[in-house]
Every structure is written in C-alpha cells, then in structure tokens.
Structure 1
C-alpha cells in the first residue's frame, strides 16, 4: 500500500503540491469563526451539583452575581480606614459607576460586611458581563480599564486603589505570559530549524519540516477544526492554539525525520532521487501511519471525558495529527521528489557517505550481547522513577502557579487572606429550597446556618440568608478558611456538602455551589476520566499495534513500556517539584497533559523501533541481530526526533512561572524517557529476549512470508532486488 502511495506521489509530485496549496486556501477561507470558552463551570456536565447550583442561582436570584473583579481599598500609610477614607471610597465607586465602563454591570459600594475586622481593608465587588469572560483578551481589557480609572480617581486621596479577582488575574496573566509565549514560539521554531539542519548539515533540511508543519498543516488543521466545531457543536478552549502548535510541529518533525533518514539511507544504497523517495515512503509509511493512528486514537478518545476542556481538545488534536500525518506521507515526499538531493542536503558534502554510526552500533551490540541486563536496568529506572508518582498531589491554584507574586492581583489576594478569610475572594453558596414550592420558614435559618458554620474549615456562615422573590429559595453565603482553589478548601467543601444535605430542615433540599464546588466536581470528573478514558485509549492503541505487527505478544509489552513511561514522568516531576522544590502540589491537569504529549506522541518512537525490529527480522536476522541492526539504523532517527521534541518542550521553562516550569520539565523529561530509555533500550532488549515469539501468531520474522509487506518496486514498477533492500 505505502510503496504504491510513494510511487503515486513521485509521479505526480507537482500535482500533489498544488492540491495541498489549493485545499489549504479553500479550507482556511471557508472556515467559520469560533469562540473559546474560559468559564471552568461551563466545562462540567449538568449532572454535577455545582452546575445545578449555578442554574438554581440564575433562576432564583437573577440579579445576584459572583464578582468578576474586586476593588481593594487601604490607606496609603497602612492605618485603619476612617470616616474621611470611607467618603473617598464611596466617591471612587460612584466615579467608576459614572464612567459606564463597557461590560461593567454593577459595582457594589463598600459596606460593613466588606470591611475587614481590623478596619484596614475594604472591598467593592464588581460584576462584569459573563460573555466577556469567554474571551480572555476582552475580559482582561475590562480589568485594565477599571484599574486605570480607579487609580486615577484615588490619586488625590489618602486611599490606595488596587484591583483583584478573576478579571484582574486574567489581565496580569496575559501581561506575564505575553512576551513568554512569543519567546517560546520563536525558540521552538528556531530550535527545530537549527537542530534538524545540524543533523543533516543542511539549511533546506531544517526548513522543510517547518514548511510542511507550520505553513501548510497548521492552517489546514485550524480550518478543519473550526469546521468540525461548528458542524458538530463542539466546545473550544483558549489553550488549544498553544497546544496545537506543539502537537503539529512535534509530530510533523518526527514524521519528517522518519522519512528523511530513510530517504538518505536509500540514496546511499544506490537509488536515484525519485526511487529513493518512493522506497522511503514504502519502508517507513506503515510506521508513520501506525504512529499517527495511535496518537489520533489517544487524542480522539478524550471526547469521552467528563471535562469540556479535554472533550474540546481531543477531537481538535486528533484532526491536527491526521492532517499532519497525511502531509508527511504526501506533501513532504512530493517536495523531496522535486528538489534535487544535493539541494536538500546542501551545503553538506558527506551526506552520500554512510558513517559508521559508532555510538549507535555500539549500543546495538550491547543490547545484542546483554539484552537481559539492558532490560532490567532500563526497566528498573522506569520503576524507580514511577515510585515518586505515589506522592503526587494535585492543586487548582492556576493563578498562583502561573504568575509572579508581585503582580497586583496576587498582592490583592494575599491582602484579602490577611484582612478577611482566605475564602472571601469567592465565597461558597448553599441554596436551600422548599421541595413543595411553598415559602421557606425563616425560623429554621439560624440553626441551619449554625450547622454549616460548624464544619471544620468554614470561617463564617451568614445566619440571615438572601431570600428569592417568591420566598422558596434561600442563599446562605459561606466563607471558607482557605483559598477557594486550595486542596484544603476542596476537602472542606466535601464535608460542607454532607452537612448541607443531611441537616436540611424538613421538606427542603440543598445545593452547594461556588468556585470551590466547581473544583470539587472537576476532581470527581477527572477520577471518572482516569477510569474510563485511559483504559479505552490503551485498548485501542493495543489494537493498532496488533494490526501493524500482526502479533498479540509485542503490543502488550509495548503498552507496559508506555504505561511505565507515564508513571515515571509523573514520578520524576513530583520528586523534583514537590519533594525537592517544596511545592504543595502540581497542577491538577498535569497528568492529562503528560498523557496527551508523552504517552501519545512518545509512542511514535516505540513504534518506529518495533517496526525496524520487525523489518530486520523479516530480512532473516536472529532476534538479537535484529535488535543490533534496529538500533544501528533506527537509533539516530529516534535520538534526533526525541532530542528535538524534548528541546522544544523545554522552551516552556523560559516562561518564568511555576506551572510552565513544571509543564516544560515534565514534557521534556517524558520525551527523553520515551526516546532514550524506552525505545532505545527497553523495547529492543525485551524483543531480543522474547525472540521470534514476539511476533506470534504472525510470521513477522519469516522473510518472504505472506503476512509481510509486498516487495518494494523501483520507479518503473519493477520489484526491487533483494540485495538492495
């Protein structure tokens, strides 16, 4: 199949290139515009209690709101606020209201309940149009306008105005990450161009993967994703664009290297340019297709996730991988077919001279002679690192992990913790409803509030709740002792829900909502996903490997290797940042991100090596000889691809915040493990130990057997002589 595809592309190379250009322009030009969703609660299914509570709030208290921003007031000298200061604060709030800032719906004046007990701090909650929250740029722009106007109004008073809350955090995050994002993107592109260029000692070879991936595959993928999002009513997330670049460039560079190394190998074997391209596609096409299939499945199965963010990411990334793989199997070979080989590898002068590859040949001989030792040593490294995953602790403090502490929204957050309870920024709400539709009995409110306030971790529960217009629903505001996004607050929320449900007055029911409740439900949703999504993805990848290798043995230890790579990566990151770095936990989404990049993309290297092992076995070599030759020929490809992708991910560590530091390290280290431990040692050593049984019940080790691929043909359709294979 793939040798026929190679010859088709070679014969019609200019038509293939033209078809890609026309298709890309048509897809991009016709793609609809889609809006990203940033509200965490919007990504949870409706059966979760936090979502039901939010819906109840909208119905019973249409005029109430959860503040999107918080104006914090304090005296410039740090003393208690006096009557003159209170008049100044009222004037500032009125002045902001009179400005009629776009999207600002309401600013609540400072009151007794929003003044700290020591009298040093006061808050003015601000409501912002919810539609603006779906666009981080627009959300941040509202905060910027509020911050500038507020400081101007306070400039001639003794009061300091500072802006915190979600909108201010969005603004500060954009400012903190804006230059870092540009730096990461540029560093990644430059790294790929330079490293690929150095590997092949060529300028054009460093540009070609960028041309295929970023210039053609990336906009085509974006257009198709927008079409699919619109057609099937899918959600989208603002993190998609950043992740998409890494995925397309990562897999695109990998697949280009798989092809380019084999293309150069065929040129050295004596093929002419077009013959070499066709035979390279025929030899490596199945490995690229299988690798892309495994990655696509890993991404696509995320559509089963309970969390909308990952449900949105899954299909989008799957589309991107399919497009990139198809471009790698058609557009990249077409470009190689029309560009003279000397130009592809210019200015290098020794590209036709096959080096001894002494290092990889030595590694191959080591695996050949001592496969048991190599398997135990590499497996032992993975197991030892995996032990660190046992102490993994997830945290939801995205703002604190992704921004410097001196940013204004972080300063406001710290002052609120000192002046109020840590949960004052985003209180929890308990909604009590009469199940019969009659009015609630106010006489039961005080005792119910006392029971809520008695939960460990609750700082205060308002004894006088807000009543709905019909008197059927009451809103009890509960302030927690800890920050809303902390694990301690989530643990408190668990107990609070139990008390709220168990202690309701007769004939009523309770729903607990708020940001902490949303995080609690995200925790529950992720636990559900770990039990459902990962096993299904594993089984589907197992099936792809079985079909590629015509074996039921090899896929099992390949999947075991991938699983160990996942736990080892999580374990190493946990040890470095929690045990050594002293962080309270890692971002809650890190395990999913490791799954997305390390497991899905890292599987490419295992597939490339196992495909080469099978090919060498089909040439008639013994299992140990096949391991030696697979590392000698496939090792440089895996090493180059793994190093480039790891270096690309490492650029995220330049962002200057904890989350990106953790993310960059985890991805880079995981890819290094996948390429240099799993694919280079663990997989070939195990295959050498298991022997030809690894291919059972197929005949992968039998040369010329019907289960193997058809003999490759030359450019004129004549089967390639055995001696040239």
Structure 2
C-alpha cells in the first residue's frame, strides 16, 4: 500500500501536485466558514451532562432563553469629569444604550480573506442595564454579542461596536470602559499583534535558514515548505468537515494548534525524505532521479507511516476522556496527522520526482561524499564513554523532574498582565462592587413533577446564600415565564477566574444549596467558577485514565515495530523520564519562578501525548538505525557510533524545526506555557534522549538490547563491508540484502 502510493506519485508527479493544489485552494477557502460552524466558545459545553455546572447551563438555555452562542461584554459608563451620575445622567445613559441596541453592527471590511468566503457576523447587540455603583461613580451595561470570542470576525464586530459606543457616549460627556472575555481577548490580541507577526516571521525564517544551511539549496529550502503548508491547510479543512459530518464540536484553539503541529511534523517527514534522497543521489549518480525518488519514498514511507500512526494511536486514547475539550482534540489531531501522512506519501515524493537533482540547486554537494564530521565525532564520544554520557543525561533529566514537587493545576485564564484596557476596567469595577459582578455564580432551581415556584418559597435559600462567606452580594430571585424555574445570581468578592472563586462555588455555595433547597425542587450551581471547578474533577479523572492507556498502546506499537521485549521498555522509560523533566521544568519556571497559581490544567495531558508520541518517533528512528547497523559484522559499539553518525543531522534538525514551530505558539497570548513546554520537550527528546541516552544504553547493552531476537551479522553485510573502500552506505548494503533475502530489517528514514 505504501509503495503503491509513493510509486504512483513519483511516476505521475504533476498529476499528484495538481490534485493537491486543487484540494488546497478549495478547502483553505472553505475552512473559515466550516470552522465557525463546529467550534464551541464556552468551556462548560465540553463537560458531561452529569456535572452540576453543565446541568445549570442547560437550564439557563432552556428555561431562561440564554443564547448558548452569546458572549457578554460589560460596559462601564461614567461622567468624563469624574463626578457622580445624576438622575439626568442615568436617563441619558439609558437613551444612548437604546440607540446602540437599535443599530446593526456590520462586520468590518478589513477582515482577512474575501468577504463572500467568510461567515457574516454582522448583528444587532442586546443591551441591558446591569448595575450602578453604590457611590454612583459609574453604571454598568450588559451587552450580548453572538459568536465565538476567538473568531476574528466576532472580534471585528466587537471592535466596531466598542468604537461606536465610545464615540456616542463621548458626545454626551461620558467616558466608557469595556471588560469581559471578548474584551480581554481583543485587547490582548491587539497588544500582541506585532509580536505575533514578528514571532511567526522569525520562526518561518528560522526554519528556512536551517534548510538552507543543511542543503545549500533554495528549492530544498522553499518548495517543500510550501507543500507542507498546503497539506496543513487541507488537513484543517478535513478536520472541520469531519467534525461537521460527525456532529463533534471543536475547541476554538484547536485549529491553531493543528497548524503548528502539522508544520512541525510535516517538516520532520520532509527532512527524512530529503536527507535520504540526497544520500542516494550521491551514492548512485548514474540512476535517474525519478527512480531514486521512488525507491527512497517507498523506503522512508514505511518509517514515516510508523511514526505517524504512533501519534494517531496516542491521540486516539483521548476518546476515553470525559472532558469534551480533550475528547474532541484527539480525533482532530488524529485526522490531521493522517492527512499529513497521506501528503507525505504522495505530494512530497511527487515534488522529489518532479524536481530531481534540481531540488538541491545550486549546491554541488551531490558531486562528492562528505567526510566524517561533527556527527561522527559525537557518535564516537557517546559510544566511547557510554556510562558517563548516560549518567550525565539522566542527572539532567532528574534535576528538571525535581521541579514537579508541589505542582498545582491552574484552571483560570493565563495572566496577560494588568496593562490592557479591559483589565483596567475590571479593576475599576472591583473597587466599588464585588469582583464577580460581571461574571456571577448563578444558582438555578427547578420544580419537580410540573410544579411551580414563588419567590417566597425560595426566600430561605436566598437568605442562606447571602450569608455564605465570600459572597459579596446576591441579586433578587428571578422566575422564568411559567414559574417552573428560578435563578439567583451571586456576586463573589473574589475574581471569578481565581482558585478562591472556584473553591467557593464548589464548596460553601454548593453546600448551602444542598442544605436549603426546598422540598420538591432541584438546584444546580453554574457560572464560570463552578464550570472550572467541575473541569478540575473531570481532568483529574482523565489524567488517571488516559496516561496508562496511551503508554500501553505506544508500548505495543514499539513491541510490534522493533520485534523486541527489552528495547520498547528502554525507549518508554526514557520517554517517560523526558516527560517528567519537561513538566518539571515548566513547573519550575511558571509556578515556582514566575509565581503563577500553577501550570495550565491542559498541560500535563497535551505534553504527555505530544512529547511521548513525537519523542517516541525520534527514538524509533535511532533505534531502527542501531538495529540495522548491528546487522553488519563487528562489535556493537562501532555499530551504535555509525547509527548516531547517520541519524544526528536529521534528528537534530528535525527537533530544532519542530521545537521552533511549537515556540511560535508563544506569540498567541495564553499559550506561553504550552509553547515553552512543548519546545523544551521536543529538544530533550531529540537531543538528550534519542542522540545520547538511547545510544549510550545500546552501547552498554550491546545486541542484548534486542532480546529475545538479537540481530546477527549477515554474510552479505560482511562481504559488502570489507570489499570496498570506503565502505558502502548502509542503504546500499540493505538494498542488496533485500534482493538476496526474503526478510530484512525495516528501512529507516533517519540518514
């Protein structure tokens, strides 16, 4: 199957290139509309229905008409001269708010992409008075806009509304401030816009520079990157189509994560192909480049397929998660990686076949074979002092893993600082009103068996809730139209995003509800703090479930791939130590060093899957090459040295590229922890684990590492090894072995 795909692609390269180009244009054009239809913006929507806050969300939607797609912006209106609002001022605020509520906000023309391909977010906002400060220093308005706060179209609509409201109130001698999730996102994005663009440009420039330095060729540096970007665009579109067909919902940040992941692994696969393609062109200058491309693509395609399926299998375990954000991320990444795999087996080989030797123009590297360089000296060092290298690498990883002491999970928004206008407005509100006034914790009460409710019947519950320590104020009880449901909004004194607010919602407030809910009714606690308290429970459950299942599945893949019992254990232990070291380093930096409340609650699971799956890929490449070299005659240590020599350039460069791709996530506010941890984890996996720890262990254990099926030197390999000077490349040896024998080692992709 693999050789059939790569063979067809190299024999008909222009047909394959044209097909991918058409798919790329169509799906990339449709992706914004498709993504808008399959994303959730409320984290609580990903909770199972059995959780208390999820039940509260359903009641809010079904009984009180809360729009599940709405996002709320709190607008502060005050006099420009700082004086207290007079009755006339408050009347003027109501009048201006009514005018704004009658005007449709049009999506700005400057949004990226053709207008006819983008979803139209133009809308008329719902505006209602919320609260007045006790000292009448300001009045708050609640503004509802429909759409995902992460959607650039919704953000554009908010900017238009904000500017219009600011200008309109200014004409009346009023100043305005805006806060809430959408306002926070827009202010933060605007503040980081330049850094994001510069960061993305630097990462792309870094990748191109590495390719130029490695291949001394403009086509090799640019053409494949365009191909990887095209495959990535098709993959995101395919994920959106799959989600729409299956009814799954994606988190708003999933498409951006997919783009970064695919850029990294796509370039990894590309590098494995390019290094082997160049090697074979050097070894066999008399052969047509298209034939070499077909042979190399088929050989490397096996390793690429194994690597990709490892990632797919790891993320498939997220299907066991209870938290929907994890459960939707797994299939999304799996589909995207499968599309990248298909592109790596078709489009990339087609490019090699179409470009041929011109892929490496104007470099003259194809005319001569390189001598032994730094990679050879590094391999000799690792195998000459394996115990020292092993001890040093384990000591480094253990020191970083020690940072796990006292680790805590942070379920709040990342700290973007207090310099944005939205943060300043929130601080001004909290000086006069409870911090939770713009994001209350709500108690929903419903009558059983078709009964009805009265406010008097709920007075005891309302009184008990107001007496809960940490509740600054409680709004009056509100009944729905048929009096079968009621809502009591509570305004905690703590920031709704803080651990204190989550503990309050999940502890004292729920305890008070349980004790004072009237007979014949049921009650549920909702709101941001309650949602994240429930997410904490769901994530703890998922970590205990997904970790062992993913580890067992990856170990099984290694067992089948390497045909050994001991080698998979060695690789899994090394990757596990790398995971602990990476998470420990993130804890040291962000929790202990920068004073954050903890590490992001998604970090352990995302880090486990990415570092274990991708780190295992690099380990597979080095282990497979070690096995191949050990099939040649001679001691084990020189075989390991040769394997390190041939794999170091590809693995080191692939690790740098993938780490750079993950580092680009840091330009997106709120992803700093994920960017740091993933970049560090990949570097540790590629350099410390794959090029030092695993080879050092192999040098110490020798051929015993493949117990119980130790590779034995072959006569063919021996003959080839001693008849030529310099010795033929391992690929040539293995190619001739495969012609002479019906069995042989799996082709590696790392030289």
TM-score (structure 2 length as normaliser): 0.86
Which moved further from structure 2: 433-442 or 159-168?
Answer: 433-442
More moved, 64-73 vs 196-205: 64-73
- In the other structure, the counterpart of 1:465 is 477
- The equivalent residue for 1:606 is 619
Q: Is the 8 A contact 2:10 2:293 kept in 1?
A: no
What is the deviation of 1:99? 3.2
Query: Displacement, 1:317?
Result: 2.0
Q: What is aligned with 1:83? A: 87
Distance between the aligned counterparts of 2:738 and 2:607, measured in 1?
A: 46
Rate the CA distance shift 1:452–1:149 in 2: closer, same or farther, 3 A.
Answer: same
Q: Please, which moves more after superposition, 538-547 or 260-269?
A: 260-269
Correspondence 1:109-128 to 2 at 5 A: 109=129, 114-128=131-145
Unaligned runs of 5+ in 1: none
Q: Which residue of 2 aligns with 1:437?
A: 450
Which region of structure 1 is more displaced relative to structure 2, 45-54 or 78-87?
A: 78-87
2:703 is aligned with 1:686: no
> Aligned residue for 1:213?
228
Flag the 1:134–1:233 CA change in 2: closer, same or farther, 3 A: farther
CA distance in 2, matches of 1:622, 1:453: 78
Match of 1:586 in 2: 599
1:418 to 2:431 alignment: yes
Deviation at 1:675, TM superposition (A): 1.0
Contact kept, 8 Å, 2:101 with 2:126, in 1: the verdict is: yes
Matches within 5 A, 1:27-46: 29=26, 34=34, 35=37, 36-46=39-49
Residues 222 and 475 of structure 1, relative CA distance in 2, 3 Å threshold: closer
SS of 2:148's equivalent in the other structure is: helix
Who is 2:395 aligned against?
A: 380
Question: Equivalent residue of 1:510, what SS?
Answer: strand
Match of residue 616 from structure 1: 629
Instruction: Provide, for residues 255-286 of structure 1, a one-character-per-residue CA deviation record: whole Å limited to 9, x for no partner.
Output: 12122222333334346345644553455433
Q: How big is the shift at 1:677?
A: 0.8
- Aligned residues of 1:278 and 1:715 also touching (Cα < 8 A): no
User: Residues 654 and 701 of structure 1: is their aligned pair in 2 closer, same or farther, counting only changes over 3 Å?
Assistant: farther
Q: Is the partner of 1:222 in helix, strand or coil?
A: helix
Helix, strand or coil for the counterpart of 1:420?
coil
Distance 1:586 1:255 in 2: 31
- Choose the corresponding residue for 2:101, options 71, 83, 97: 97
Q: 1:125 to 1:690 in 2, by over 3 A?
A: same
1:70 aligns with 2:84: no
CA–CA distance in structure 2, aligned partners of residues 21 and 671 of structure 1? 34
- Range with bigger deviation, 613-622 or 452-461: 452-461
Match of 1:346 among 344, 361, 366: 361
Answering whether residue 127 of structure 2 is matched by residue 107 of structure 1, we say: yes
Question: In structure 2, what is the Cα distance between the partners aligned to 1:358 and 1:451?
Answer: 76
1:49 aligns with 2:52: yes
**TM-score of the two chains, using structure 1 as the length reference:** 0.88
Alpha-carbon contact 2:578-2:681 (below 8 Å) kept? yes
Q: How does 1:659-678 map to 2 (within 5 A)?
A: 659-678=670-689
State the alpha-carbon separation in 2 of the partners of residues 395 and 313 from structure 1.
Answer: 20
Unaligned runs of 5+ in 2: 106-121, 717-729
| Deviation string, structure 1 residues 414-440 (Cα, Å, up to 9, x no partner) | 222222111111101112233343334
Q: Distance in 2 between matches of 1:7 and 1:140?
A: 44
1:261: which partner in 2?
275
Matches within 5 A, 1:68-467: 68-99=72-103, 101=105, 103-104=123-124, 106-109=126-129, 114-129=131-146, 132-133=147-148, 136-215=151-230, 217-270=231-284, 272=287, 273-274=289-290, 276-281=292-297, 283-341=299-357, 343-398=358-413, 401=415, 403=416, 405-440=418-453, 442-443=455-456, 445-462=458-475, 464-467=476-479
**Which residue number in structure 1 is paired with residue 709 of structure 2?**
698
Q: Deviations over 1:521-572 (max 9, x none)?
A: 2222222221222222222211111111011221122122222222211211
**1:242 deviation in Å?**
1.9
* 1:279–1:714 CA contact under 8 A, matched in 2: no
SS of equivalent to 2:558: helix
35-44 or 278-287: which moved more? 278-287
On the 8 A contact 1:594/1:667 being kept in 2, the answer is yes
What whole-Å deviation, never above 9, does each CA across 1:349-402 have from its counterpart, x for those lacking one?
34544434433223222221232222222122112211213333333443x53x
Cα offset for 1:703?
4.1
Secondary structure of the corresponding residue to residue 419 of structure 1? coil
1:615-671, CA deviations, whole angstroms, 9 ceiling, x for partnerless residues? 11122343322321111111111111111222233334455x4x3433332222111
User: 2:517 aligns to what?
Assistant: 504
CA distance in 1, matches of 2:677, 2:517: 46
Using the TM superposition, give the Cα deviation of residue 206 of structure 1 relative to its aligned residue in structure 2, in angstroms: 0.8
What is the match of residue 60 of structure 1? 63
The separation in 1 between residues aligned to 2:714 and 2:514, in whole angstroms, is 69
Which of the residues 486, 498, 510 maps onto 1:474?
486
Q: CA deviation at 1:221?
A: 1.9
Distance in 2 between residues matched to 1:214 and 1:180, nearest whole Å: 22
Give 3-state SS (helix, strand or coil) of 2:250's partner. Answer: coil
- Quote the offset at 1:479 in angstroms: 1.3
**Distance in 1, Cα, partners of 2:7 & 2:171:** 76
- Distance, in Å, in 2 between the alignment partners of 1:710 and 1:550 is 23
CA shift, 1:609, in A, is: 0.8
Are the counterparts in 1 of residues 407 and 587 from structure 2 also a CA contact under 8 Å? yes
CA distance in 1: counterparts of 2:292 and 2:104, whole angstroms: 68
1:67/1:207 CA distance change after superposition, 3 Å: closer
Cα deviation digits, residues 307-332 of structure 1 (max 9, x gap) = 33333332222222222223323433
Counterpart in 2 of 1:13? Answer: 10
CA contact (8 A) 1:577 1:662 kept: yes
Structure 1 counterpart SS, 2:129 = coil
C-alpha distance in structure 1 between counterparts of 2:450 and 2:674, whole Å: 50
1:206–1:448 CA distance, 2 compared to 1 (3 A): same
CA contact (8 A) 2:264 2:662 kept: no
- Give per-residue Cα distances to partners, 1:5-29, cap 9 Å, x unaligned: 59835xx624144135325525864
Contact 1:493 1:517 in 2 (8 A): yes
1: CA distance, partners of 2:629 / 2:5: 21
Residue 405 of structure 2 aligns to a residue in which SS?
helix
CA contact (8 A) 1:429 1:513 kept: yes
Judging changes above 3 Å, is the alpha-carbon distance between structure 1 residues 116 and 357 closer, same or farther for their aligned structure 2 residues? farther
